[in-house]
Chains A and B, each alone.
Chain A
Amino acid sequence: MLTDAQKLAPTPGTHIQMTYLEALMQAQMEEMDRDERVVLMGEDISVYGGDKLIERFGRNRIWDTPISEGSFTGMGIGAAINGLRPIVDLEFASFAYLASDQIINQASKLRYMTGGQIDIPIVFRCCMFSTGSMAAQHADRPYPLFMNVPGLKIISPTSAADIKGLMKSAIRDGDPVLVFEEKRLWPLKGDVPTDPDHVIPIGKADVKREGKDVTLIAIAGAIRPTMEAVDALAKEGISVEVIDPRTLKPLDHEAFKTSVAKTGRLVIVENGHRVCNVGSEIVAVMAEEAFDLLKRPILRLSAPDIHVPFSPSLEKDFYPTKDHIVAAVRRLL
């Protein structure tokens, strides 16, 4: 049986094995080496971010901030306008709410509102800690909220190679990019290209598994139960194609349509709350642009419209599980 790492691995080449988290850190370090304008800022990052960062780049590039999300985020934005390329690490994606005024009212809008007089090349890291009894205030997955804001690019890679390549694209991009990484993916190993210019374009989805019976679009951390479900279904002779959008804004409509043209059936799996999530958007896109490709109604699996509970017994089935996904796929056949 394939390991998770093998399932999520890209085509082998000049690669080395590393975890998702190592790949993310390596992307930051390589980009900081490449471009001295890149600085890293956030709470406790010189400790949690690894002592290697301070050792390698010094304290003028690595900034431990006071607990002031609402303002150090804005500080990063001001610095981006004035010549730096900051990576603002908000740690918990739930803390992006504190920073949201600056992200939404300033970062996303100022280029437009000034008629293109300024650029805001900034990256916001928002890690989703969906499991592990973090309880509601630390466990949110707020990417749908930010998808409704024009002017932001949003990525949510799921493999080590993808996080490295997309993080590099985000840092090199001339606009604000939100990175929704997933803590559950941190330990996953995969083959990562050693090329320091390994970049994956923002806006391109990836086929993580080819199949012919059903298309399954998995978002961020939902890729793990999805791959387990797909393996189980394969044993029954059901062939599922797995698409990882990798970028949530803009979504790669063509990749979805190409796959559904083949399968005629679509399930979307994510850990966001149900109302107005990324699945809602994909369903709308398919209804508008590809209704005639569908043989069956689209199914969406997500977290319910309830806050993330603390107790393990309540949290256990809160997000779509392998069994939920298997059942959904069977329903469509």
Chain B
Amino acid sequence: MQLNGDQRLEAYRRMLRIRRFEEEGMRQFKGGKIPGPFHASMGQEAAIVGACLALRDDDAMTGTHRSHGHPIGKGAHLDALMAEVMGKEGGICKGRGGSMHLADNSVGIISESAIVGGGIPLATGCAFSARVRGVDQVTLCFFGDGAVNQGTFHESLNMASLWKLPVIYLCENNGYAITTSLAQSHGQPDIALRAAGYGMPGVTVDGQDVCAVYEAAAQAVRRARAGEGPTLIVANTYRFDEHSFGLVISGEPYRSVEEVEAHKRDRDPILLYRTVLLEEGINEESLGAVEDEVAEAVKQAVKFALASPMPRPETLPDYMFNSPLAGQYSSAAGLERN
């Protein structure tokens, strides 16, 4: 299964939307408009978009603290995402989630868990629900190489395999859990081999090649919908920015400047894919049109976000409960008293 005509440009569009959204986000961060930490996905766009494009609109997803790419990859509108990272009322999570939790349920995302490995059981449960309800929805579960060493990874893969749940475990393997490399933290660093322990296919793909990721994910989606169970896909990718934007690493360097520069120069998934598209006959004009469109969408998102008001302090307890009870907000009442 390969990316078809429309999907080829869509893959380029979505990768570029992630890149430009984050570049602009970093500018806004420097300008003091974005509070809290900012974890960029730049460099990892192909791993995200390739997997997302294999899904249907009604399929579900979970993500991680590096959460900007996932909703954009699944096709989310940028306005409410930008407003959220600024902590605005118009944010997708009403200013309650922020940069590490950019979950947009309108594109099927049930959570972006900033607890490493925390989203893996949720994705498994999402797929469990599809199985119980007898629908052919698939769940895509993103996590990083660091999460592979969490208990939730092993427990969840076991249950998903046992019950042949329609879930795809997609490891965005960027080689570093913050500063800890794969070699320093994995007794056996070939992550895909772990799948064998749970009786499911383990596939390694070049995570800088959007077509390769798409093909692996599409195959896993086919398996999942056919009732054949889960697949573990390891997309080997690279994080261009620091773990978190602006983070100062004062101790021993954990990766060299040369290593980072080489990846940016030779392994940029967007540049690589642009070359492929040109070779496949898509002209500069078409690509330029997509680039302009993305630039405009990001510009519009910033405009929307800056114009959106901050949430009013009296809305602090909103969204706590589906069915609030009397006395449930005593802490808020306490704030008022004090």
**Could you give, for residues 97-133 of chain B, a 1 whenever the CB lies within 8 Å of some chain A CB and a 0 otherwise?**
1000101111000110101001011111111111011
The answer to whether A78 and B124 have CB atoms under 8 Å apart is: yes
B122 to A, closest residue via Cβ = A78
Please tell me if A129 contacts chain B, counting CB pairs below 8 Å: no
The answer to whether B152 and A71 have CB atoms under 8 Å apart is: yes
A67 to B, closest residue via Cβ = B155
The answer to whether A117 and B93 have CB atoms under 8 Å apart is: yes
The answer to whether A121 and B327 have CB atoms under 8 Å apart is: no
What chain B residues lie within 8 Å of A251 (beta carbons)? 327
Please tell me if B245 contacts chain A, counting CB pairs below 8 Å: no
Asked, given contacts A81-B110, A174-B323, A175-B323, whether A114 binds B103 with beta carbons under 8 Å apart, the answer is: yes
The answer to whether A105 and B118 have CB atoms under 8 Å apart is: yes
Other-chain contact of A75, B115, B125, B326 (Cβ < 8 Å): B125
Please tell me if A173 contacts chain B, counting CB pairs below 8 Å: yes
Which of B62, B121, B319 is most buried by chain A, counting CB atoms within 10 A of its CB? B121
The answer to whether A116 and B152 have CB atoms under 8 Å apart is: no
What chain A residues lie within 8 Å of B139 (beta carbons)? 78, 82
Asked, given contacts A113-B101, A253-B327, whether A71 binds B96 with beta carbons under 8 Å apart, the answer is: no
**Could you give, for residues 95-128 of chain A, a 1 whenever the CB lies within 8 Å of some chain B CB and a 0 otherwise?**
0000001100110001111111111110000000
**Could you give, for residues 60-71 of chain A, a 1 whenever the CB lies within 8 Å of some chain B CB and a 0 otherwise?**
110001101011
The answer to whether A82 and B115 have CB atoms under 8 Å apart is: no
The answer to whether B319 and A115 have CB atoms under 8 Å apart is: yes
Please tell me if B283 contacts chain A, counting CB pairs below 8 Å: no
Smallest Cβ distance from B29 to chain A, in angstroms? 21
The answer to whether A39 and B132 have CB atoms under 8 Å apart is: yes
What chain B residues lie within 8 Å of A202 (beta carbons)? 325
The answer to whether B96 and A113 have CB atoms under 8 Å apart is: yes
The answer to whether B96 and A115 have CB atoms under 8 Å apart is: yes
Which of A39, A65, A75, A153 is most buried by chain B, counting CB atoms within 10 A of its CB? A75
Please tell me if A84 contacts chain B, counting CB pairs below 8 Å: yes
A122 to B, closest residue via Cβ = B125
Name the segment of B156-164, B173-181, B270-278 touching the other chain. B156-164
Other-chain contact of B320, A78, A105, A151 (Cβ < 8 Å): A151
The answer to whether A74 and B129 have CB atoms under 8 Å apart is: no
The answer to whether B328 and A250 have CB atoms under 8 Å apart is: yes
Please tell me if B250 contacts chain A, counting CB pairs below 8 Å: no
The answer to whether B97 and A118 have CB atoms under 8 Å apart is: no
Please tell me if B151 contacts chain A, counting CB pairs below 8 Å: yes
The answer to whether B319 and A150 have CB atoms under 8 Å apart is: no
Smallest Cβ distance from B109 to chain A, in angstroms? 9
What chain A residues lie within 8 Å of B137 (beta carbons)? 82
Which of A76, A117, A250 is most buried by chain B, counting CB atoms within 10 A of its CB? A117
The answer to whether B322 and A79 have CB atoms under 8 Å apart is: no
What chain B residues lie within 8 Å of A44 (beta carbons)? none
A201 to B, closest residue via Cβ = B325
Q: How far is the CA of A79 from the CA of B328 in the complex (A)?
A: 25
Tell me how many residues of A have a C-beta within 8 Å of chain B: 49
Q: Which of B318-335 contact A (CB under 8 A)?
A: 318-323, 325-328, 330-331
What chain A residues lie within 8 Å of B60 (beta carbons)? 82
Q: How far is the CA of A174 from the CA of B103 in the complex (A)?
A: 20
A108 to B, closest residue via Cβ = B320
Asked, given contacts A71-B156, A78-B124, whether A115 binds B94 with beta carbons under 8 Å apart, the answer is: yes
The answer to whether B122 and A203 have CB atoms under 8 Å apart is: no
What chain A residues lie within 8 Å of B162 (beta carbons)? 66
Smallest Cβ distance from B310 to chain A, in angstroms? 14
The answer to whether A66 and B325 have CB atoms under 8 Å apart is: no
Please tell me if B207 contacts chain A, counting CB pairs below 8 Å: no
Q: Which of A199-253 contact B (CB under 8 A)?
A: 202-203, 250-253
Smallest Cβ distance from B239 to chain A, in angstroms? 24
The answer to whether B325 and A70 have CB atoms under 8 Å apart is: no
Q: How far is the CA of A40 from the CA of B215 in the complex (A)?
A: 37
The answer to whether B122 and A106 have CB atoms under 8 Å apart is: yes
Please tell me if A53 contacts chain B, counting CB pairs below 8 Å: no
The answer to whether A66 and B158 have CB atoms under 8 Å apart is: yes
The answer to whether B322 and A70 have CB atoms under 8 Å apart is: no
Q: How far is the CA of A72 from the CA of B160 in the complex (A)?
A: 11
What chain B residues lie within 8 Å of A151 (beta carbons)? 320-321
What chain A residues lie within 8 Å of B321 (beta carbons)? 111, 151, 174-175
Please tell me if B230 contacts chain A, counting CB pairs below 8 Å: no
The answer to whether B156 and A119 have CB atoms under 8 Å apart is: no
Other-chain contact of B129, A71, A79, A252 (Cβ < 8 Å): A79
Other-chain contact of A72, B95, B159, B325 (Cβ < 8 Å): B159
Please tell me if A196 contacts chain B, counting CB pairs below 8 Å: no
The answer to whether A71 and B155 have CB atoms under 8 Å apart is: yes
Q: How far is the CA of A95 from the CA of B111 in the complex (A)?
A: 25
Please tell me if A166 contacts chain B, counting CB pairs below 8 Å: no
Please tell me if B91 contacts chain A, counting CB pairs below 8 Å: yes
What chain B residues lie within 8 Å of A76 (beta carbons)? 125
The answer to whether B122 and A77 have CB atoms under 8 Å apart is: yes
Q: How far is the CA of A105 from the CA of B120 in the complex (A)?
A: 13
Smallest Cβ distance from B102 to chain A, in angstroms? 10
What chain B residues lie within 8 Å of A75 (beta carbons)? 121-122, 124-125, 128, 156, 159
The answer to whether B115 and A105 have CB atoms under 8 Å apart is: yes
What chain B residues lie within 8 Å of A250 (beta carbons)? 325-328, 330
A-B contact pairs, 10 of them (CB 8 A): A72-B121, A77-B122, A82-B125, A114-B101, A118-B105, A118-B110, A120-B322, A250-B328, A252-B327, A253-B327
* 16 extra interface residue pairs, beta carbon distance < 8 Å, beyond A82-B60, A101-B115: A71-B159, A74-B152, A75-B122, A75-B128, A78-B121, A79-B128, A79-B132, A81-B111, A81-B125, A82-B125, A113-B97, A114-B93, A115-B95, A174-B322, A175-B323, A251-B327
List residues of A whose CB falls within 8 A of some B CB. 39, 60-61, 65-66, 68, 70-84, 101-102, 105-106, 110-121, 150-151, 153, 173-175, 202-203, 250-253
Closest 5 CB pairs of A and B: A78-B125, A74-B121, A174-B322, A115-B94, A71-B155
